[in-house]
Structure 1
Amino acid sequence: MTVQDCAPPHFPRIAACGDTALVVELSDQIDEGSNMRVVALAHDLAAKPIDGVVETVPTYRSLLVVYDPALVRGGLLAKQLRARLAEVPSANGAQRRIVVPVLYGGPVGMDLDQLADMKQMGADTLITLHSAAEYRVYMIGFAPGFAYLGGLPDILHTPRLAVPRQRIEASAIGIGGKQASINSVAGPSGWRFIGRTPLKLFDPARDDPFLLRAGDRVRFRPVEAEEAAALDLASAQGTLAAEWERP
């Protein structure tokens, strides 16, 4: 192994991902600054498209850029992306902020009491800590509309379950390691779940099926069972409007 082999990688780094995509890596760490640049580049490409680019997919620290090789070659696109990166600001301007109502505990939030015991606090204290934080949607993935959230208070960081459960309902509010989450569809999960929201993160019947997108800010608002039931009814009828805050 040479000294060059041990040298740290230089960023940004652009690499081929098959023959129809490039991945633009902005860091080898997960941090808000790198993610803000990823989202800013995605927004910039949407606002000022490059011919041949079909789709972009933001992740924690990189942007997948899917292209049509009949319209643009990968080498030329890489040069265009490097040039674009030099012009893109570190953030994408005003961020959307959403307030997510949460019914904590109950059958879907089956881990609330156990997690509170693990942290040597009451369930009410855990709810207060969880709902007082502001979260950033780092990326959408795993399932359609599934939101990975950064900003979970350190005291609530908790390892995932050793054995995943086979089914967790859609709209469940979870904790996994250093992250928080909102389930979009029902499915297996090893995360720990402390509540649920009447909001649907993924609804193919909506004009925009995905409620959240990378870069959004999220706050959780605790609700009682009566309000949750009313919100559930509105959600089932398709009349539940998301509560967006002004930046």
Structure 2
Amino acid sequence: MTANLTAAEPDFELYFLSERAITIQFGDSICKTTFDKLTQLNRLIYERPFIGLETTLMAYTTLTVFYEPFRLLSSELEGKTCLEKLSNYIHTLYQTVPHRTNDDAKLIEIPVCYHRSFGLDLEEVARHAKCSTEQVIAMHTEAIYAVYMIGFLPGFAYLGGMNKQLATPRKPSPRLSVPVGSVGIGGEQTGIYPLTSPGGWQLIGRTPITMFNIEKDQPSLLQPGNKVVFKPIAMEEFHHLASTFP
């Protein structure tokens, strides 16, 4: 069951995901303009929460809203069912979305050592991009990335905005163990492995900072909507920073 939200957004739909969640679909095209709208709407939901709101989950083109159904049904929002109430709520809220770029998003700098002992696939990416390894590092560190979603592993952030020249297919056979902190490229995205795990992304460097700490109130360093820049560091600084993080 779906409900169109606005006539101006014919591909903007809201559908029932479960008895405790609805998903807002922003079309099927991944782009910065769509993601900015999604980010702004997510922010407004927390600024003007409805009774029964539990949490939200952002992805490339979707925003899933989780709620407590009995509290929502008892609210004064217009509608008889949870879907009707949330459809009306989102419809009204969306009219106030500023439709601007996400320029005020939190910017997080991630230090990365691109030494060949960490960047096991740096030369492979350079061959695929038809450039030198130094140019790969330069292109990777000059971009400002957007955190589109968290998935695959706790705290694994999918980052968009990478120079398209660096786009490299995932490895045909994933590694059985990728070290924690490894920075990789998978297709047109880049990301950081927050935990040691299997993985098939092309490894170009490693960060010494902790990306995921279960003991913190907010375990994941990065959140959807954040912006990220990479700062190249030498091996000596890598080991110094690594000694300061738990």
Place the TM-score, normalised by the shorter chain, in its bin.
0.7 to 0.9
Q: Which segment is superposed worse, 23-32 or 86-95?
A: 86-95
- Show structure 1 runs of 5+ residues with no match: 1-8, 237-247
Tell me the secondary structure at the aligned position of residue 219 of structure 2. coil
- TM-score scaled to structure 1, two decimals? 0.87
| More off after superposition, 116-125 vs 215-224 | 116-125
Letter in 1 for 2:87: A
Letter in 2 for 1:53: L
How does 1:16-55 map onto structure 2 within 5 Å? 16-55=16-55
Give, in whole Å, the separation in 1 of the partners of 2:156 and 2:99. 25
Identify which of 169, 174, 180 aligns with 2:190.
180
Deviations 1:125-166 (A, max 9, x none): 211111111111111222211111111111101111112112
The answer as to whether partners of 2:157 and 2:192 remain within 8 angstroms in 1 is yes
Structure 2: how far apart are the matches of 1:199 and 1:79? Answer: 43
Per the alignment, residue 3 of structure 1 pairs with none
Q: How many residues align?
A: 228
Residue matched to 1:209: 219
CA contact (8 A) 1:108 1:168 kept: no
Residue 87 of structure 1: how far off its partner (Å): 1.4
Residues 1:83 and 2:101 are matched in the alignment: no
Q: Secondary structure of the equivalent of 2:108? A: strand
Partner of 1:111: 121
Post-superposition shift, 1:174?
Answer: 0.9
Tell me the equivalent position of 2:59: 59
Q: Check the 8 A contact 1:105/1:111 in 2, yes or no.
A: no
Structure 2 gap ranges (5+): 1-8, 73-81
Counterpart pick for 1:232 among 213, 220, 242? 242
Amino acid corresponding to residue 71 of structure 2 in structure 1: L
Greater RCO structure (CA 8 Å; 6+ sep):
1
- Please tell me the root mean square deviation across aligned C-alpha atoms, in Å: 1.6
- Which residue is 2:149 aligned to? 139
Letter in 2 for 1:84: L
Q: Which amino acid aligns with 1:45?
A: I
**Identical aligned residues as a percent:** 32
Q: Please give the alpha-carbon distance, in whole angstroms, between the structure 2 residues aligned to 1:61 and 1:230.
A: 39
State the 1:74 CA deviation: 2.6
- Give the structure 2 partner of residue 242 of structure 1: none
State how far apart, in whole Å, the 2-side matches of 1:48 and 1:142 are: 30
User: Matched residues in 2 for 1:118 and 1:157: separation?
Assistant: 8
Does structure 2 retain, via aligned residues, the 8 Å contact 1:22–1:78? Answer: no
Q: Residue 112 of structure 2: SS of its match in structure 1?
A: strand
Contact conserved, 2:115 with 2:234, CA < 8 A, in 1? no
